[in-house]
Structure 1
């Protein structure tokens, strides 16, 4: 019985992980960091908006733009070539969960995350480390509130 409980919990955790990661990767919105197909113009507007809120100089805006590009590339790599929702539905298409497919999906997403993360981390560090202390505090305050830059209320 103990083995059954372990397998069940592992299966539920794995399923929740897949659903959560695919749901996060497949969100679309009117624009912003989460826009799957954000155009260069949209990213430029986002960089400009954040730049104005943080009072960034030209060099800092350039570093923010590099970070935005790296985040977009990482997101595209995580999303993959196929529609994540189709891949997720495929796992539940039969009478039983496609465990091999779920493991393959997790392996692919993990590999994409591991391969692109160093570049994202380096770009984030380059951006943040070149902010003035008051700008860094604004970023910390924003993260503490947990809201988007343009969100009101």
Structure 2
């Protein structure tokens, strides 16, 4: 089964640690410098804070949590990508942290492949595909599925999962 799109994917490329990720450029509303983050007590590490975007309360997600990456302190390159993400059939505005924002580029449909079933450091259900550009790979996360998975996990369910895992 091919994940190839009929036309190139217009993508915003962002860096998380040493990996390049691509998100649908058409879903991006704006890119912000780091703004004050209001921490939410007892929230999941994935969406642990809220930001104010032009007077609107927006949840801030950290994809590095979902991909098991270290979470270094923000620096001068850290940005917040404000996006509209389809969660359970409803458009939802959310911010995602990026260690660095690169550029908007086309990823050719023919260069997007399925995620290998083995050898991946990420959960394959969270990846739509792997694109190739300039001899490197670009990970295309399935943001809808990532956010739906997290919104389905209530705090008590997450706490009981953590207890049973230890």
Structure 1 length normalisation: TM-score? 0.29
Question: Which protein has the bigger helix share?
Answer: 1
